[in-house]
Structure 1
Amino acid sequence: MHDSHSERMSRGETRAAGGLALVFAFRMLGMFMVLPVLATYGRDLSGATPALIGLAIGAYGLTQAVLQIPFGILADRIGRLPVIYVGLLVFAAGAALAANADSIWGVIAGRVLQGAGAISAAVMALLSDLTREQHRTKAMAMIGMSIGLSFAVAMVVGPVLTHLFGLAGLFWTTAGMALLGILITWLVVPRTAGPLQHRESGVARQALGPTLRHPDLLRLDFGILALHAILMASFVALPLALVEQGGLPKEQHWWVYLTALLVGFFGMVPFIIYAEKQRRMKRVLIGAVAVLLLCELYFWAFGDNLRALVLGTIVFFTAFNLLEASLPSLISKVAPAGGKGTAMGVYSTSQFLGAALGGILGGWLFQHGGLGSVFLGCSVLALLWLVIAATMREPPYVTSLRLPLDADALGDAGLVARLLAQPGITDAMVVAEESALYVKLDTQQVDRALLDGLIAPAGAAPGH
């Protein structure tokens, strides 16, 4: 065995993962800080109506959804770094536009422009270029954690910053963070030798059709769309409910979100461990969606005092965090071999569409039917998701690997059939132009030595 299988991440890999996780976190912080404050502070902008405030909350999702996959393909053509730099500049420009706005339309225009800096796909692809196969899951997890953390920080810092410096100050902070992201990318993230052409790092056109026809992937795409729609719509209503029905001044909302996120974060951990260890992911998923549904009904029926609202918010975030963490993991289990990058691309697009839809619908419902109708609308969406999720099959508990193949193995016509005959290997695919094998296997049934033995054709000594 040589270095390519060493168990620890190299310094370069750690720098790449840490640097890109920071870039992601700063950008997400800028996206999310607006959530807890726009519904309350946005009322002072000229021309503001609840429907337009909802549009401002969700607007970034529209451009993000449309540009997510094209930017990823562009990053394959011209390189990842130019796309990341330009995307962060566009994002900063959108924040500056919103900071200078005195009308709700100006803020909406700024949010739309912010969303146009759609760099997620390019960042993920760059991360794939800079990390080896066996460390990629760890690196992706670092980015996932940075997004979760930035969401938590945003919920607490957003209200505090806005109280001190107003909405304009909040947007200027966001612009500054995007510029800081450019600096981190330039100073911290190592340079690549060039893009690795492999299918897991981005959207592969050949895999788009099968991904869009895959029933369980579509169920998960609908799930993330519903989750983010419910989140955005709830944030059209929750901050206002805290002020109007809970009597909590908007400057003090930060402690509600801080409590909810801390309890929610630790509350979800046992469920995630149970889902993975006991292989009960479907049960945990359905349970969390049911809790989300009950939360929205609870807000609607009992959300007329501060204690009820705080309690509901805590339970809401426990279910939200659990779903936010388990959906991507389900995508990578369900996606066909070599199709994970494409599946994640479609999934991200669905997530941003959900954010846009939730903001717009939440604002519209609030304008026409008050707070209660927003919570009822979210309940209907959660119920629909519950029905769709219940029809999903239990996911395969598999790990994806990409292994380089030598000329002998590439020419071995029986390789895929031999692998698929092995219990515990659910999918395998040879991509000749990458000289690579994509394989999905159950690590409880197949270990690395057995896999190497299966790849080495009969009679050849398994060596590197």
Structure 2
Amino acid sequence: MNALEWRVAFSLSAVYAVRMLGLFMILPVFALYAQTLPNSTELLAGIAIGIYGLTQAIFQIPLGIASDRIGRKPVIIGGLCVFALGSILAALAQSIEMIIVGRTLQGMGAIAAATMALAADLTREENRARVMAFIGMTIGLSFMAAIILGPIIYTQAGMAGIFWFTFGLAITGILLVGWVVPTPLHIRSHRDAGIVSGYLLKALKNKALLRMNAGVFALHLIMTANFLVIPTLFIQQLDLPTLEHWKVYLPVFLVAFIGSIPLIIVAEKRHKIKPMLLAAITLLVLAEILLALGYEERYWLLIAFSLFFLGFNFLEAIQPSLVAKYSAVETKGTAMGIYNSTQFLGIFVGGLVGGWVNQQWQAAGVFWLSAVVAATWLLITLKLPTPAFYTSRVVRFEHAVSDWETMYQTLQKVRGIYEIAIVTEEQVAYLKVDKKELDEQGLRAILEAAA
């Protein structure tokens, strides 16, 4: 990658990081804080944690499409301003109802799709996947950092301190977008990275993608529901004050992160992604059953929590790869937009339903709910087709092509190209290729002839 693309990768990753930190730092502590608020219940605590997921799911796709028309940076900066406003309201709130309002506003600043589209505007097609992977890795690390930092900041500055810190992160994000992130010369519609409204129905009709959407919904429902009870259990069963919860989170996350790497390599390099996916979901089912039966014993609690996050880390990493494999070559960006929206919807339902179950049946009920959701997900996933291990490739023609039909037929004859979608008005061909089989010289010759 060139210097501009590295700058894009680092700066947009930083924008994502500050926002993810702000959203997730309350996750490991809010259930504890809610107990100190007047009129608070477990249900309202769950809603406060998850409500931002609802507004994220509602606004992400419309704002992504809007960024094609009014520009990426105005949408991103506007979203961060709304996020900052929500953080201020939550920081000043004296009741759980006002915190819910603040969290609702935080979610309305849904900038994920617009940020990915900006990354696509600023990178060349051959390096776009690397930049997206870099950003994706940052998102995962930010989540882990948020879970570790949340209890520390909460102990030192209270819940208001977390929200003020979140406000500062939002301002940092605005400054990054305004003065560090490059401004694209041209805004284009990127079918491999952005959302195209005309492809929404096509992506929603893909049965394999619907199963993947159900999976990410279930995964984040379970994660959110679990964090409604886990912090309290760490205090009750481990006799661990809130400030020291990082002593559990840090080693568990490190082991889960390192442990998931060889699993991902086996899944991708040895084409074992579906059986590994099923194994990871099964691990979640077992972890939740173990939590339900043994959460009152500290060692079983720690073992089950560690198993959960090993499965969670692997699934978080591998599922977007499967979405890309199951989607048509030209609908990849739209499919990912729907997938991300479903993920946020799962967070909302996890907070809502998990909070209600916690109010009725306490921690055991939450873990049994999670086990049932994970088992249902496993049954849905059994019918997933075996994916093809192709790589997306975007080819841009710098000069007008006189006969696109002939070009399509010519590309079909290149060894290793298995799917082609040509967008004539953009002078772009979206390809799915087998990297091991692809005739690079033949493809290069076609492009040189077209030029």
CA distance in 2 between counterparts of 1:421 and 1:58 reads: 50
Aligned to 1:56: 48
Q: What whole-Å deviation, never above 9, does each CA across 1:268-319 have from its counterpart, x for those lacking one? A: 0000001111011101111111101110000001111222222211111111
Would you say 1:366 and 2:358 are equivalent positions? yes
CA distance in 2 between counterparts of 1:180 and 1:406 reads: 38
Task: Please show how residues 407-426 of structure 1 align to structure 2 within 5 Å.
Answer: 409=401, 411-420=403-412, 424-426=416-418
> How does the TM-score come out when normalised to structure 2?
0.97
Determine if contact 1:267/1:318 at 8 Å carries over to the other structure: yes
Offset of residue 196 of structure 1: 1.9
Aligned to 2:215: 223
Q: What whole-Å deviation, never above 9, does each CA across 1:305-351 have from its counterpart, x for those lacking one? A: 22222221111111101000011111112211111110011011101
CA distance in 2 between counterparts of 1:74 and 1:243 reads: 46
Q: Which amino acid aligns with 2:371?
A: S
CA distance in 1 between counterparts of 2:85 and 2:283 reads: 39
Q: Which amino acid aligns with 2:373?
A: L
Secondary structure, counterpart of 1:397 in structure 2 = coil
Would you say 1:70 and 2:32 are equivalent positions? no
Task: Please show how residues 136-175 of structure 1 align to structure 2 within 5 Å.
Answer: 136-175=128-167
Aligned to 2:308: 316
Task: Please show how residues 324-363 of structure 1 align to structure 2 within 5 Å.
Answer: 324-363=316-355
Aligned to 1:3: none
Further displaced range: 371-380 or 243-252? 243-252
Identical amino acids, percent of aligned pairs: 43
Further displaced range: 267-276 or 250-259? 250-259
Offset of residue 192 of structure 1: 0.9
Q: 1:121 aligns with which of 107, 113, 135?
A: 113
Q: Which amino acid aligns with 1:72?
A: G
Aligned to 1:5: none
Further displaced range: 16-25 or 419-428? 419-428
Q: What whole-Å deviation, never above 9, does each CA across 1:61-86 have from its counterpart, x for those lacking one? A: 01000000010111111100011111
Q: What whole-Å deviation, never above 9, does each CA across 1:340-384 have from its counterpart, x for those lacking one? A: 110011011101100101111110100011110100000111011
Q: Which amino acid aligns with 2:42?
A: P
Determine if contact 2:117/2:194 at 8 Å carries over to the other structure: yes
Task: Please show how residues 216-255 of structure 1 align to structure 2 within 5 Å.
Answer: 216-255=208-247
Q: Which amino acid aligns with 1:134?
A: E
Q: 1:211 aligns with which of 186, 203, 213?
A: 203
| Backbone CA RMSD of aligned residues | 1.5
Determine if contact 1:410/1:435 at 8 Å carries over to the other structure: no
CA distance in 2 between counterparts of 1:394 and 1:450 reads: 29
Determine if contact 2:399/2:450 at 8 Å carries over to the other structure: no
In structure 1, runs of 5+ residues without a counterpart are 1-8
Aligned to 2:27: 35
Q: What whole-Å deviation, never above 9, does each CA across 1:178-237 have from its counterpart, x for those lacking one? A: 101111112211111021233223111221111000011111111111111111001112
Aligned to 2:39: 47
Determine if contact 2:152/2:242 at 8 Å carries over to the other structure: no
CA distance in 1 between counterparts of 2:384 and 2:413 reads: 25
Secondary structure, counterpart of 1:257 in structure 2 = helix
Determine if contact 1:401/1:438 at 8 Å carries over to the other structure: yes
CA distance in 2 between counterparts of 1:146 and 1:263 reads: 18
Would you say 1:385 and 2:372 are equivalent positions? no
Determine if contact 1:68/1:119 at 8 Å carries over to the other structure: yes
CA distance in 2 between counterparts of 1:260 and 1:294 reads: 17
Q: What whole-Å deviation, never above 9, does each CA across 1:366-407 have from its counterpart, x for those lacking one? A: 001111010000011101110111110111101111111366
Further displaced range: 275-284 or 404-413? 404-413
Q: 1:399 aligns with which of 385, 391, 416?
A: 391
Aligned to 1:132: 124
Q: 2:185 aligns with which of 187, 193, 198?
A: 193
Secondary structure, counterpart of 1:31 in structure 2 = helix
Secondary structure, counterpart of 2:418 in structure 1 = strand
Secondary structure, counterpart of 2:405 in structure 1 = coil
CA distance in 1 between counterparts of 2:401 and 2:281 reads: 45
Secondary structure, counterpart of 1:245 in structure 2 = helix
Aligned to 1:376: 368
Aligned to 1:88: 80
CA distance in 2 between counterparts of 1:412 and 1:70 reads: 32
In structure 2, runs of 5+ residues without a counterpart are none
Q: Which amino acid aligns with 1:248?
A: L
CA distance in 1 between counterparts of 2:441 and 2:101 reads: 56
Determine if contact 1:237/1:362 at 8 Å carries over to the other structure: no
Aligned to 1:270: 262
Aligned to 2:2: 10
Aligned to 2:289: 297
Offset of residue 418 of structure 1: 4.6
> How does the TM-score come out when normalised to structure 1?
0.94
Secondary structure, counterpart of 2:362 in structure 1 = helix
Q: What whole-Å deviation, never above 9, does each CA across 1:131-153 have from its counterpart, x for those lacking one? A: 00111111001111111111111
Secondary structure, counterpart of 1:362 in structure 2 = helix
CA distance in 1 between counterparts of 2:248 and 2:140 reads: 17
Aligned to 1:438: 430
Q: Which amino acid aligns with 1:427?
A: E
Secondary structure, counterpart of 1:35 in structure 2 = coil
Q: What whole-Å deviation, never above 9, does each CA across 1:1-26 have from its counterpart, x for those lacking one? A: xxxxxxxx111111111100000000
Further displaced range: 397-406 or 140-149? 397-406
Determine if contact 2:117/2:190 at 8 Å carries over to the other structure: no
